[in-house]
Amino acid sequence: MFRYFENLVDPYTDYPPTDRPPTRLLPFLMDYARPFRRVFVWAALLSVVVAGVEVGLIWAMGWVVDILSGDPAQVWDTHGTTLILLGLFVLLVRPVIQALDVLVLNNAIMPNFGTLIRWRAHAQVLRQSIGWFENDFAGRIANRIMQTPPAAGEAVFQVFDALTFSLAYVVGAAVLLFDADPRLLLPLALWFGGYVLLMRWTIRRVGPASKAASDARSFVNGRVVDAYTNIHSVKMFAQDRQELDYAKEAIDRARDTFQGEMRLYTVMDVALVVLNGLLIVGVVGWGLLLWMQGAASVGVVAAATALTLRLNAMTGWIMWATTTFFRQLGVVSEGMETIAQPITLTDDRDAEDLVLDRGEIRLDGLSHHYGRDSGGLDDITLTIRPGEKVGLIGRSGTGKSTLVKLLLRFYDAEKGRILIDGQDISHVRQDSLRKQIGMVQQDSTLLHRSVRENLLYGRPDATEEQMVAAAKQAQAHHFILDLQDPQGRTGYDAHVGERGVKLSGGQRQRVALARVILKDAPILLLDEATSALDSEVEAAIQDTLYGMMEGKTVIAIAHRLSTIAHMDRILVMDGGRIVEQGSHDVLLRSQGLYAQFWARQSGGFMDPDTEAAE
Which tens digits make up the pLDDT trace of 356-407? 989 999 999 999 988 787 778 988 999 999 999 999 998 888 888 889 999 9
Q: Is the pLDDT of residue 294 over 80?
A: no
Tell which wins on pLDDT, 219 or 364. 364
Q: 53: pLDDT confidence band, cut at 50, 70 and 90?
A: confident
Q: Three-state SS for 2?
A: helix
Does residue 393 sit in helix, strand or coil?
A: strand
Whether residue 186 is contained in a domain is answered as: yes
Q: What is the DSSP string of 168-182?
A: HHHHHHHHHHHHH-G
pLDDT for the residue numbered 458 = 85
Q: Judge contact between 485 and 495, C-beta under 8 A.
A: yes
pLDDT at 555: 93
Which of 571, 518, 570, 586 is CA-nearest to residue 548? 518
Q: Are 11 and 39 in contact (CB under 8 A)?
A: no
Residue-level pLDDT at 355: 92
pLDDT at 58: 78
What does the pLDDT average to over 447-457?
91
Q: Which of 59-68, 219-228, 532-541, 585-594 has the highest mean pLDDT?
A: 585-594
More confident residue, 604 or 232: 232
Domain extent, residue 456, equals: 451-518
Counting beta carbons within 10 angstroms of the beta carbon of residue 508, is it exposed (0 to 12), middle (13 to 18) or buried (19 or more)? buried
Amino acid 167 reads L
Q: How many residues does the chain have?
A: 614
Q: Are residues 158 and 282 in the same domain?
A: yes
Task: Report the pLDDT value the prediction gives residue 477, as an integer from 0 to 100.
Answer: 92
Higher pLDDT, 199 or 85: 85
Residue of higher predicted confidence among 44 and 68: 44
Q: Does residue 537 register a pLDDT over 90?
A: no
pLDDT, tens only, 15-33: 888 888 888 888 888 898 9
Q: What integer is the mean pLDDT of 499-503?
A: 81
With a cut of 70, say whether residue 244 has pLDDT above it: yes
Mean pLDDT of the chain: 84
Burial 147-156 (b: 16+ CB within 10 A, else e): bbbbbbbbbb
Is 6 buried (19+), middle (13-18) or exposed (0-12) by CB count in 10 A?
middle
Q: Which of 339, 370, 388 is a domain's end point?
A: 339
Q: Determine the Cα angle at 224 with ends 219 and 229, to 5°.
A: 125
pLDDT in tens, 72-81: 778 777 878 8
pLDDT at site 614: 37
- Same structural domain, 458 and 335: no
Q: What is the pLDDT of residue 316?
A: 67
For residues 311 and 251, the model is more confident at 251
Q: What is the average per-residue pLDDT within 111-118?
A: 91
Q: Give pLDDT, residue 207.
A: 72
**Domain end marker among 482, 497, 518:** 518
pLDDT of residue 530: 66
Residue 536: pLDDT band (50, 70, 90) is: low
**Amino acid at residue number 43:** A
Verify that 477 and 332 share a domain, yes or no: no
pLDDT-derived band of residue 609, with 50, 70 and 90 as boundaries? Answer: very low
CATH of the domain at 70: 1.20.1560.10
Last residue of a domain, one of 518, 543, 560: 518
d(CA 331, CA 321): 15
- 223 within domain boundaries: yes
Residue 489 located in a structural domain:
yes
The one-letter code for the residue type at 511 is V
- What angle in degrees, to the nearest 10, is found between the helix axes of 298-339 and 164-180? 160
12 in any annotated domain: yes
- The CA-atom distances, in angstroms, between 546 and each of 473, 476, 598 are 11, 17, 22
Does position 297 have pLDDT exceeding 80, yes or no?
no
Three-state DSSP string of 561-605: HHHCCCCCEEEEEECCEEEEEECHHHHHHHCCHHHHHHHHCECCE
Nearest C-alpha neighbor of 430 from the set 400, 407, 459: 407
Q: Are strands 361-368 and 569-574 parallel, antiparallel or unpaired?
A: unpaired
- Lowest average pLDDT, out of 177-186, 222-231, 436-445, goes to 177-186
163 pLDDT above the threshold of 80: no
State yes or no: pLDDT of 474 exceeds 50: yes
Q: Is 485 left (phi over 0), alpha (psi -120 to 50) or beta?
A: beta
Across residues 400-421, what is the average pLDDT? 91
- Amino acid identity for residue 30 in this structure: M
Give 241-281 as a DSSP string.
Answer: HHHHHHHHHHHHHHHHHHHHHHHHHHHHHHHHHHHHHHHHH
Task: Give a yes or no: residue 142 inside a domain.
Answer: yes
pLDDT tens digit sequence for 134-161:
888 777 888 888 888 888 888 888 888 7
Same domain (yes/no): 312, 459: no
Say if 100 falls within a structural domain: yes
Q: Is the predicted pLDDT of residue 613 greater than 50, yes or no? A: no
Say which residue, 164 or 296, is predicted with more confidence: 164
pLDDT value at 46 more than 80: yes
Residues 333 and 465 both lie in one domain: no
Total structural domains within the chain: 2
Q: Which of 34-43, 224-233, 475-484 has the lowest mean pLDDT?
A: 224-233
Residue 574 falls inside a structural domain? no
In a domain, 132, yes or no: yes
